[in-house]
Structure 1
């Protein structure tokens, strides 16, 4: 009996020695816990036993959680960090806690959170992030949290929630997301529908309200009337509208991206040429073709001119501008993209030869196209190759204007670009 008492005493002594000085460690029912709450701690103290399963650091003065903050306690199942002064949680701060079931970070100042760390917490059942300064949640934030039952995001600064964010939470039964400054637009309509039809308990639904737009301020999301919303749709053509564009003489490639969607999509051009990739947030020029303030170059006319009406003009199109031109339209409901690959054939060069040399894969797929009187005549609906002959009266050396007041409106299949016969090969992707 004496030996047993001595052994227990030695174990308790080792346990006490392993516990940080300002914390209390104890073992009950085979579970090791560490209580460090209300100790005015300004950092996570070192020296915890490796078998700690419950750790409370609530009501301290922790300003942040750095990478590896809990590497000493990989067996943690409950971590309590409420009522601190935490502003950021670094990537890697929580990633090692694969056994964690409860995580409480409520009542802090968190605006920067390591959402990627949550992907490792597959055992998590309760996540409390309420009463913080979070402004957004990534669409894939909860990927892999299939055991999560309760999620609390109320009293933050969330403006929206992306469609699909909650989809991985197949075990979710309780969600608190009230008292956030939601922007009630098309991007949030999915959440209204989901909240009205889900079996998940959502308390205080009347406090899930709109802050913007102004006319909807204070309106509960559940009472919001349907909005005319649609995802982007894109059509890329080679006969753009050029109203208001004053073009300079020279060879010009003109594309037009016709976009539909509600709310109005943002248009972006992605251009891949032999010399590299060019990204353009449209528009980058005004109606006169000159660069907008803040666009590059700072003055003059850019090499690629993206107009507000969806037109893209390359005034000096040549070999260096060959490549693939893609327009991407994005709004709150999604995105759509269309592309066209363009090759310039020398005068007298057969279109099929040029096509096979520049785009061998596409050349093999093509069924064949031909032209009659400058009108494109695909041989069948399966064709995705269009050969366009381009010409204009007068030479570029003449320096005269291209038509009255600019390029004007060419007939279908014809763009006025050069005195010599040129061939442009368009490979459209759908």
Structure 2
């Protein structure tokens, strides 16, 4: 009913509107056509009848498509914009065209495209973006195009495509991606596998070829040899730093994220504290603990959270402001992996040491193992909790840290820190 009202409104409004002067408008084969091709236009002209269903702006000199460029033609089903000088398509430029079935943006200079424009185009069946300057496409670019049948992305500057890019296109029958400078590393292997297995027609497969690395230059993707590739894996361990030589306000908590994968994953730390979220690209300090160039230093030139190149994260002055969830995330072309630990500061007088001591003795009678402070501790399974107990020296400050152990663990364990080691054991609760 809403669409019928919109159609009636558009028809009535269209009857009272003239065609823009540079264009010609007519009804043909039941379609309301506005022809503005070959008019030397440098902007989309205003004043179209609202009932226009086909609009041709091909072979002009349009430099860009601004937001709201086609608000006057909400019933548009076909839009032809080929052979212009379009470099950018702004967010909102195409979003109002929910009835659009055919969109031709080929033979332009588009490098900056707001892919959110496509999220409202659920009726789209043909999308031509070939012969442009596109260098990348987000994984979610085509998430709403479940009716799309033909997609042309050939003759662009695409180096790679994210795995799953074409998964939402359940109606796709024709895909052109030839003549792009693909970087044939691990991130492109999925495309070879998918292209060989899909029922989608993919012409010119010998021209879907590698440009880099040099040793593979010119190799068709379909004949790409096996590459040594593996998705990231992470293992998060933690260890108190305790030198016993002097008393200091606060203590050092050390986390270590061991990362594996090919190509070598990039490591990122995500810290959720009571004061907010802290994201840390590793490394942010050199071997001496001082901030790298471009990293805002804290007091003494050392950041609050020190991420080292070897995968370690050091919190030199752990206190109430630093409690929270610490996560390490490893990412490469094949995916990502994450592991987290929860850390909280206990306050004096909670009786934690007595309770944990009784639990330690109970676990000890069951044959659970003990470890020294020099040992780095890691959970052996999702059911295990790590318990590390430190007691302060006589007269020294009392402090405790509570931490869960291991990826995917639901119930947090306890990691108690102070100024001198009492014991450390692995317990299953």
Report deviation, 1:344.
Answer: 3.1
Matching of residues 69-108 of structure 1 within 5 Å: 69-108=69-108
Give the deviation of 1:82 after TM superposition.
Answer: 0.3
Equivalence for 2:279: 279
Residue 337 (str. 1) matches residue 348 (str. 2): no
Task: Show the 5 A alignment for 1:206-221.
Answer: 206-221=206-221
Query: Is the alpha carbon distance of 1:416 and 1:124 closer, same or farther for their aligned partners in structure 2, counting shifts above 3 Å?
Result: closer
Runs of 5+ consecutive residues of structure 1 not aligned to the other structure = 1-10, 242-246, 356-367, 398-414
Residue of structure 1 equivalent to 2:265: 265
> 1: distance between equivalents of 2:146 and 2:352?
56
1:4-19 alignment runs, 5 A limit: 18-19=18-19
Q: Counterpart in 2 of 1:57?
A: 57
Offset of residue 296 of structure 1:
2.2
Find the aligned partners of 1:16 and 1:342 in 2 and give their Cα distance.
Answer: 69
Residues 21-32 of structure 1 mapped to structure 2, 5 A cutoff: 21-32=21-32
Q: How far apart are residue 261 of structure 1 and its match?
A: 1.2
Quick one: distance in 1 between partners of 2:221 and 2:50? 47
* TM-aligned CA deviation for residue 255 of structure 1: 0.9
Aligned residue in 2 for 1:228: 228
Assess if the C-alpha contact under 8 Å between 1:345 and 1:424 holds in 2. Answer: no
1:315 counterpart SS class: strand
Is the 1:267–1:327 Cα contact (8 Å) retained in structure 2? yes
**Shift in CA distance, 51/347, structure 1 to aligned 2, threshold 3 Å:** closer
Question: 1:326 aligns to what?
Answer: 327
- Deviation at residue 354 of structure 1 after TM alignment: 10
1:223–1:249 Cα change, 3 Å: farther
CA contact (8 A) 2:370 2:423 kept: no
1-side partners of 2:284 and 2:147: how far apart?
48
User: 1:232-381 counterparts in 2 under 5 A?
Assistant: 232-239=232-239, 250=248, 251-297=251-297, 300-346=301-347, 349-351=350-352, 375=371
Distance between the aligned counterparts of 1:339 and 1:126, measured in 2?
44
1:34–1:56: 8 Å Cα contact kept in structure 2?
yes
> What CA RMSD, in Å, does the superposition of the two structures yield over aligned residues?
3.7
Taking the aligned partners of 1:334 and 1:383, their CA distance within structure 2 comes to: 26
TM-score of the aligned structures, taking structure 2 as reference length:
0.80
Q: Supply the distance in 1 between the matched residues of 2:198 and 2:420 (Cα, whole angstroms).
A: 66
Count of residues in Structure 1 that have an aligned counterpart in Structure 2:
383
Q: Partners of 1:344 and 1:354 in 2: how far apart?
A: 16
Shift of 1:264: 1.0
Q: 1:122 to 1:424 in 2, by over 3 A?
A: farther
The answer to whether the 8 A contact 2:370-2:424 is kept is no
Q: Distance in 2 between matches of 1:70 and 1:235?
A: 52
Given the superposition, is the C-alpha separation of residues 381 and 306 from structure 1 closer, same or farther in structure 2, using an over 3 Å criterion? closer
Residues 307-357 of structure 1: CA deviation (Å, up to 9, x unaligned): 1111111122223222211111111111111111112335664338999xx
2:43 is aligned to: 43
The 1:127–1:304 alpha-carbon spacing in structure 2 relative to 1, beyond 3 Å, is: same
TM-score by length of 1: 0.79
Deviations 1:140-175 (A, max 9, x none): 111121211110001111111111110111111111
Per the TM alignment, residue 383 of structure 1 is displaced from its structure 2 partner at its CA by 4.3
Between 319-328 and 156-165, report the one with greater CA deviation.
319-328
Distance 2:179 2:353 in 1: 63
Match of 1:141 in 2: 141
Contact 1:343/1:425 (8 A) holds in 2: no
1:179-194 equivalence runs, <5 A: 179-194=179-194
